[in-house]
Structure 1
Amino acid sequence: MGFEPFRTFPPTIVTEPSPFNASIPDAKLVKLHELVKAAEVGPVTYEGLQQDRRYGITRDWLNNAKEQWQRFDWKAVEKEINSFPNYKAQIEHDGTIFDVHFLAIFSEAKSAVPALMLHGWPGSFMEFLPILRLLIRKYSPSTLPYHIVVPSLPGYAFSSPPPLDRDFRLEDVAQMIDTLMVQLGFGEGYAVQGGDIGSKVARVLGGVHRRAKAIHLNFGIMPDPGNIAPSEHNELEKDGLVRAREFAPLALSLSTNPLALLAWIGEKFLDWTDEDPTLETIIEAVSLYWLTDCFATSIYPYRQLFTPGNIGAHENPTWHINKPLGFSWFPKEIAPVPRNWIATTGDLVFFRQHQRGGHFAAIEHPEVLLKDFEDFLRQVWSTS
């Protein structure tokens, strides 16, 4: 079964969104090909020869990636994207109209749970394509237990960039996403799943937006809350804390050279996973960023989250989640903090620790993340 039967809007919809098809102009594709072909890989260095990638990607990897990128067929990716139900909604926020791109599949079941799935960086809505495929294979439109909405966050992919005349923060994103759900007819409440930046938007939604009734995360970077003894951590969590300490937080330079962008993002896909994703997956992700000019507009959350003196999202008491909170723990996440740390940030009623998986869990192990989210919703939704 394809996606066509899952396109019927719920009867409660307030404002119908416009259908959307991804279509990058041919001239832009030609320009990208020319830039990739002309880009030079840097000279041989000691660091670039280390096969354990202790200093990042290897020179050989980048050479191979450049060759494959020159043969890459973006139109095939567009065809795949457009096989999913894509939409754009106009969202008014702070006097500005934004276009928000999203994918969605809708259920015919009256009891279906509206659910947001929020991507992170350097990811995109494409992270959740495997999960959407799993859902339409598992359910029919009449048995699908959820309405699934997968937005491109503002500044990412096909959504509008943040404004140029004022600061733009997680709170702004959360307000816009909440408005989107109201427009789609889910003003009575919805659940949220999020990783990386998406987890922080989910955190704000759960902390201050009444319609966000249940929050499931697979990322929770935060400092030591200071009141938990290290002896309370299991061995996986102790290893995770070592990994978290190794993670420490260009835009203009990376937006002018596609090979530099490939090196930067490619290194994240390789280092933040337990099994290297395919080169095709990495090139798809980098091409989307390049062709939608979104790298420079996608990193605004880091201005807020890593400015000295600011409190991070997950430890911010303003966004303490006083409603059902679920968490999926993956060992190769960039900051896999312990369960008892996460429990200080909300009403943690569901926690599942996995032996494999990393930062891109929706790509690496879509069946695992989907099962966690489904199990969480079965546990909490009737009382959320």
Structure 2
Amino acid sequence: MSEQPFQISVSNEDLELLRKKLDLIRFPDELENVGWDYGVPFEDMKRLVTRWRDSYDWRAHEAELNKLPHFTRDIETDAFGTLNVHYIHQRSTQEHAIPLLFVHGWPGSFMEACKILPLLTGESPDHPSFHVVVYSLPGFGFSEAPRKPGFAIAQYAEAMTQGGDWGQRVTRRMATLYAPKHVKAWHTNFTHTDAPNFVRNPLTASAHLAHTSSAIPYSPYTEFEKKGLERNQWFEDNQAGYYTEQNTQPQTLGYGLADSPAGLLAWIYEKLVLWSDKYQWEDDEVLTWISIYWFSRAGPAASLRIYYEAHHAEDIFNQPYVGGCPMGVSYFPAELFLAPKSWMQATGNLVFTAQHESGGHFAAHEKPEVLVDDLRKMFGKGGPAFGVVPGKNGYAR
């Protein structure tokens, strides 16, 4: 099946069901003066639920999202049949624009890329322009979910090539399996890890292993890198519970998230606040983000299973890195894991790094201009990845 135009269109019945469920919410009690220590404060939840139920206008936000060029396409996958995948395909007017793939993670969606799309596709003699494809991973947003177990990172990569976080893992596997045909260069705000003798987090254990077994000499950590390692320790001590639950018993958690809009809101809103860098979330911004999960094609439980499948396939620990393919890393201080530069040099052909004073896990949404500027520097004239895609350097000729 070829590319088909798509419009988000939530039924009136689904909107009414959401309103009824919000009417029936039973809130828990709360201890006095605990702030965020025990989780999302009651005051925040009550405000957001009241707004979602009484005055939030999904139709207005749906219309705004539909201004983007949405499409779906049937993707054939080995052993998992055909999946109908949703994506945004925003083309530049520049004939020689660079093809760029944006892949979100959890708890993200295509919404993460909305702010960077006009910046990336804009044409200027001062910077390169990009053609951008923003996928909804299978099981997320308006993409169909796999129906059989075992759909791990290699399968996500297979689906994406035929058409962070999980995005950086999927794209890394894509570059390894399908370059040079499909992927010529990639860029990510990578995540970081703990001290060398305490690498517990699977996201960067392979990065540290590659560094310790490489010929790259050890160099003292900078103050930025030390603070990054402290950030990782904070995450391990205070934020890792979701990870354990989702990679062990996602179905159990899924009942609560699929049935209770308040449960879904609290589960994701917590991450939006604590994983960003003092970003001032507007209520409607949060509710649109959560509504995409609530109204998702497969339901919010489907998005959890990527953790279970990757964990049990050992896809997290054993992620290969791209040999000669140019790699760029944007460091944002409130990201969840920040591998020191020396570690990253051991994992691939690191040609570009940028260190920023603020920003967190949702960098494309929090700091769109900053992230786009890094991409322009990496792929622009004089940049280390200029001309890496033959015939597509991003500039008019």
Q: What range describes the TM-score normalised by the shorter chain of this pair? A: 0.7 to 0.9
Taking the TM superposition and a 5 Å limit, the aligned residue runs for 1:1-384 are 16-46=2-32, 49-51=33-35, 53-70=36-53, 71-94=55-78, 96-135=81-120, 138-139=122-123, 145-164=129-148, 166-180=149-163, 195-210=164-179, 211-220=182-191, 221-223=203-205, 224-225=208-209, 227=212, 232-247=220-235, 248=240, 249=243, 250-276=253-279, 277-292=281-296, 293-307=298-312, 310=314, 312=316, 316=318, 318-378=320-380, 379=383, 380-383=385-388
- Name the aligned partner's letter for residue 374 of structure 1: R
Q: Distance in 1 between matches of 2:299 and 2:344?
A: 31
Q: Secondary structure at the match of 2:333?
A: coil
Q: Is the 8 A contact 1:205 1:212 kept in 2?
A: yes
- What root-mean-square deviation, in Å, do the aligned CA atoms of Structure 1 and Structure 2 show? 2.2
User: Which consecutive segments of 4 or more residues in structure 1 shift more than 6 A?
Assistant: 228-231
Gaps of at least 5 residues in structure 1 are: 1-14, 181-194
Report the identity percentage.
Answer: 34
Structure 1 residues 129 and 350: CA distance shift in structure 2, 3 A: same
Distance across 2 between alignment mates of 1:63 and 1:317: 41
Partners of 1:218 and 1:72 in 2: how far apart? Answer: 32
User: Take 1:118 and 1:335, find their aligned partners in 2: how far apart are those partners?
Assistant: 18
The alpha-carbon deviation at position 267 of structure 1 amounts to 0.3
168-177 vs 106-115, greater mean Cα deviation: 106-115
Question: Does structure 2 conserve the Cα–Cα contact (< 8 Å) formed by 1:208 and 1:319?
Answer: no
Q: Report Cα offsets for 1:176-235 as digits up to 9, x if no partner.
A: 11111xxxxxxxxxxxxxx32111111101222112110111133313436399962111
Q: CA contact under 8 A between 1:330 and 1:355: conserved in structure 2? A: yes
Q: Which moved more, 1:105-114 or 1:267-276?
A: 105-114
Structure with higher strand content = 1
Q: CA deviation at 1:288?
A: 0.9
Listed as ranges, the gaps of 5+ residues in structure 2 are: 192-202, 244-252, 390-397
Cα distance per residue 1:298-329 (max 9 Å; x no partner): 1222113444x93625xx36334431000111
The 8 Å contact of residues 273 and 357 in structure 1, kept in 2 or not, is answered as yes
Can you list the C-alpha shifts for 1:324-363, whole angstroms capped at 9, x where unaligned?
A: 0001111111112222222222111101111100011111
Name the TM-score, length of structure 2 as normaliser: 0.81
TM-score normalized by the length of structure 1: 0.84
The code of the aligned residue for 2:301 comes to A
State the Cα distance separating 1:289 from its structure 2 match.
0.3
The aligned amino acid for 2:204 is: M
SS of the equivalent of 2:71 reads strand
SS at match of 2:320: helix
Secondary structure at the residue paired with 1:126? helix
Partner secondary structure for residue 319 of structure 1 = coil
Q: 2-side partners of 1:372 and 1:334: how far apart?
A: 20
Q: Which has the higher contact order (CA 8 A, sep 6+)?
A: 2
